[in-house]
Chains A and B, each alone.
Chain A
Amino acid sequence: MLTRPPVKFIDRIARALPQIVVAPGFAAILYFVYGFIIWTGYISLTKSKMLPNYTLIGTRPYERLFQMDRWSVAIENLFIFGFLFVFVSVIVGCLLAVLLDQKIRAEGFIRTIYLYPMAISFIITGTAWKWIMNPSLGLEKVIRDWGWESFRFGWTVDNNLAIYALVMAAVWQASGFAMALFLSALRSVDQDIIKAASLDGASPWRIYLRIILPSMRPVFMSAMVILSHLAIKSFDLVVALTGGGPGYASTLPANFMYEMTFRRNEIAVGAASAMVMLATVAAIMVPYLYSELRGKKHV
């Protein structure tokens, strides 16, 4: 009769190794991400002010939140900023990629130049653009010194334009990244398809418009998701470039949350704003992820 050889201890470890390796990270994510989401959700229903206080008071912090003008400005800003930032970055990145795709010389060099801003932190971008856009020492001064006396470029100090200054700096930073993403997608298009289209009589820009760009839909999606989350997270850019000002004209929800929680002793309202942000992101991301993951099955 055959007896089964005893499973060696080392074999058992080897078999369980993947789980063992993943476990600490998994536990950390469980605790620090999901644990704190639950904690924040709980705090947002309490009467916490300067310190966490666990007495529940229902949805009152949310009511307060939505009565605040600062919050509605922040939400409105997020939509303006997010929408413009994502679309302008995608369009600029796409155009740059198409231009770079024309087999030009020194392509690697140019690509690197466009890609570098992504390697810089938003704080530095913000500071640099703050100087550039500062009326008394930036672009405005330079052009006035050249002789165009009436030139104005005071976006950062204008109530209505400050948010667009943010868009400009963020686009400058992210469009090179979008370009790199699109360029690699352009390069992976089957050359035979392009040849076939040109035999079919399509002009180069028609080939891009009708054949290549539509086939890059998944890349557009990825770019939009990555850029959207950058937009929602752009806290540091606001801090460095406009400080949320003038007044609170260019605040974003993340800045609002920070302001309430750590400066104005309104922890519950801060937590409530964090929960609203989470819900907004989830409302955008969940359907997207759902359709993408489902779509994968029958392609």
Chain B
Amino acid sequence: MASLTIKNAVKRYGNVEVLKGVSIDLRDGEFLVLLGASGCGKSTLLNMIAGLEDLTEGEIMIGDRVVNDVHPKDRDIAMVFQSYALYPTMTVGQNIAFGLEMRGVPKAERALRVEQVAKTLRMDHLLDRKPAQLSGGQRQRVAMGRALVRDPEVFLFDEPLSNLDAKLRLEMRTEIKRLHKRLNATMVYVTHDQIEALTLADRIAILKDGEVQQLASPAEIYEHPANMFVAGLVGSPPMNFLDITVEAGEAGPAAWVTLRADGADKPVLLDLSAHTARLDGYVGRKVVMGLRPEMISQGTTDAGQCVQCEIDVTEATGADTLCVLNWNNQEVLARGTSGYTKILEGTMDFTIETERACLFDPESGLRLD
């Protein structure tokens, strides 16, 4: 196993700059997830690590070896493709053994290692089938087996679960997590599914238009997003953004929010005194307040400021019920009680945890710190 260092990687296709100086540092055995919307350069970066694309500028190191000019096969990397890329004319066994065969591993040892891997992935009964005779999940497993059998320094996954149905995706996600724990290998995993990113990663790198927006642990990314893009991308349902104007209140900064309650608009002064230091110099200016749905909970507690407001619509998702509220003529999602037990309607009490709110500069989109 080895560490992986990407220094200021730039990729240009003609005039188009697809990656604009990406720097990422991976510890030995770390699980990094690259998260971003379609077309932001995730696959390009992965292909560059694998050596399937050249860097325009910058450097990639595996361990303490610069691999810019090293052929893909000599980088000791295994990759699982989104399309699985199984060799259609070979059986599962031959598919898994192909990499070993090309590296001149003797036949007896090949058979032994294929068998071991097949056992780990619980597919020993599939070894004689052709890829066309497998289900999506089984193909996915073969693709993993092909990577595992080589025992490489670094594993790369390019959206390996995106072709599977929801249930299987969940299963395979757990399997990958388990695998990482057992092998303790360095892994880079590309996805555009934020749940996958949050559950799998040691650290997440969020990419947008070829630039890293934030590189941090899932908790950090969730609790302290670096900017509005990250805040909006991570979390489901997404974070609410409220445009507010900061005023000087009695205890510190505060802001007026118009809530709808009992059929009338009612202005309420939200106390932002927990953010006094952060809002220094922002009095009289506009900022964006980011509130996750679970920061607006139903009922009166002493976790934050209590307000009364009218529920517009409720959406029961099973685990919990989401309430759509109307603040400042914007839709705001709140997390209501769990389960279907209570019907929520009319005007009710809500507690807003203003302390945990994120505040962003509306121009730069950066979080105020």
The range of chain B's interface size is 20 to 34
Give Cα distance in the complex from A190 to B131, angstroms: 14
Among B15-23, B97-105, B177-185, B186-194, the stretch that binds chain A is: B97-105
B88 near A215 with CB under 8 A, answer yes
A196 near B73 with CB under 8 A, answer no
Q: Is A11 an interface residue (CB 8 A)?
A: no
- Using A199-B78, A206-B102 as known contacts, say yes or no to A217 and B132 having CB atoms under 8 A apart: no
Residues 80-110 of B, flagged 1 when their CB comes within 8 A of A and 0 if not, give: 0111111111100000001100110000000
B85 near A193 with CB under 8 A, answer yes
In the complex, what residues of B have CB within 8 A of residue A200's CB? 73, 98-99, 102, 146, 150
Among A192, A206, A211, the residue within 8 A (CB) of B83 is A192
Q: Is A247 an interface residue (CB 8 A)?
A: no
A199, chain B: closest CB distance, angstroms: 5
Q: Is A232 an interface residue (CB 8 A)?
A: no
B186, chain A: closest CB distance, angstroms: 16
Residues 171-208 of A contacting B (Cβ, < 8 Å): 190, 192-193, 195-202, 206
- Using A195-B81, A200-B99, A201-B99 as known contacts, say yes or no to A211 and B72 having CB atoms under 8 A apart: no
Give Cα distance in the complex from A195 to B150, angstroms: 16
Q: Is A214 an interface residue (CB 8 A)?
A: yes
A202 near B52 with CB under 8 A, answer no
Q: Is A299 an interface residue (CB 8 A)?
A: yes
In the complex, what residues of B have CB within 8 A of residue A198's CB? 52, 72-73
In the complex, what residues of B have CB within 8 A of residue A299's CB? 132
B50 near A197 with CB under 8 A, answer no
A209, chain B: closest CB distance, angstroms: 12
B79 near A215 with CB under 8 A, answer no
- Number of A interface residues, CB 8 Å? 18
Give Cα distance in the complex from A124 to B82, angstroms: 51
Q: Is B77 an interface residue (CB 8 A)?
A: yes
B89 near A199 with CB under 8 A, answer no
A199 near B87 with CB under 8 A, answer no
B267, chain A: closest CB distance, angstroms: 57
B314, chain A: closest CB distance, angstroms: 44
In the complex, what residues of A have CB within 8 A of residue B72's CB? 198-199
B98 near A199 with CB under 8 A, answer no
Give Cα distance in the complex from A202 to B103, angstroms: 8
Max chain B C-beta neighbours (<10 A), residue from A193, A196, A214: A196
Give Cα distance in the complex from A42 to B89, angstroms: 47
* Residue in chain A with minimal CB distance to B74: A201
* Residue in chain A with minimal CB distance to B98: A200
Among A192, A202, A206, A211, the residue within 8 A (CB) of B81 is A192
Give Cα distance in the complex from A211 to B50, angstroms: 20
B88 near A199 with CB under 8 A, answer no
A201 near B103 with CB under 8 A, answer yes
A201 near B102 with CB under 8 A, answer yes
Among A195, A201, A206, A215, the residue within 8 A (CB) of B52 is A195
A197 near B52 with CB under 8 A, answer no
* Residue in chain A with minimal CB distance to B87: A211
Give Cα distance in the complex from A106 to B18, angstroms: 28
In the complex, what residues of B have CB within 8 A of residue A190's CB? 83, 85
Give Cα distance in the complex from A214 to B131, angstroms: 14
In the complex, what residues of A have CB within 8 A of residue B90's CB? 211
B79 near A196 with CB under 8 A, answer yes
In the complex, what residues of A have CB within 8 A of residue B73's CB? 198-202
Residues 210-236 of A contacting B (Cβ, < 8 Å): 210-211, 214-215, 217
Among B84, B89, B98, the residue within 8 A (CB) of A197 is B98
Give Cα distance in the complex from A199 to B146, angstroms: 11
B90, chain A: closest CB distance, angstroms: 8
* Residue in chain B with minimal CB distance to A189: B88
* Residue in chain A with minimal CB distance to B103: A201
In the complex, what residues of B have CB within 8 A of residue A211's CB? 87, 89-90
Give Cα distance in the complex from A206 to B103, angstroms: 12
A193 near B99 with CB under 8 A, answer no
Residues 149-166 of B contacting A (Cβ, < 8 Å): 150
A240, chain B: closest CB distance, angstroms: 41
B83 near A214 with CB under 8 A, answer no
In the complex, what residues of A have CB within 8 A of residue B52's CB? 195, 198-199
B89 near A215 with CB under 8 A, answer yes
In the complex, what residues of A have CB within 8 A of residue B146's CB? 196, 200
Among B77, B82, B84, the residue within 8 A (CB) of A199 is B77
B143, chain A: closest CB distance, angstroms: 8
B39, chain A: closest CB distance, angstroms: 17
Max chain B C-beta neighbours (<10 A), residue from A198, A199, A217: A199
In the complex, what residues of A have CB within 8 A of residue B99's CB? 199-201
In the complex, what residues of A have CB within 8 A of residue B88's CB? 193, 215
Q: Name 17 A/B residue pairs within 8 A (Cβ), A-sorted.
A: A190-B85, A192-B82, A193-B87, A193-B88, A195-B79, A195-B81, A196-B79, A198-B72, A198-B73, A199-B72, A199-B78, A199-B79, A201-B73, A202-B98, A210-B87, A215-B89, A299-B132
Extra A-B contacts (17), CB below 8 Å, given A192-B84, A199-B72, A201-B103: A192-B82, A192-B85, A193-B85, A193-B88, A195-B81, A196-B79, A199-B50, A199-B73, A199-B78, A199-B79, A200-B99, A200-B102, A211-B87, A211-B90, A214-B89, A215-B87, A215-B88
Please list the 6 inter-chain residue pairs (A to B) with the smallest Cβ-Cβ separation, ordered nearest first: A192-B85, A200-B99, A201-B73, A201-B102, A214-B89, A196-B85
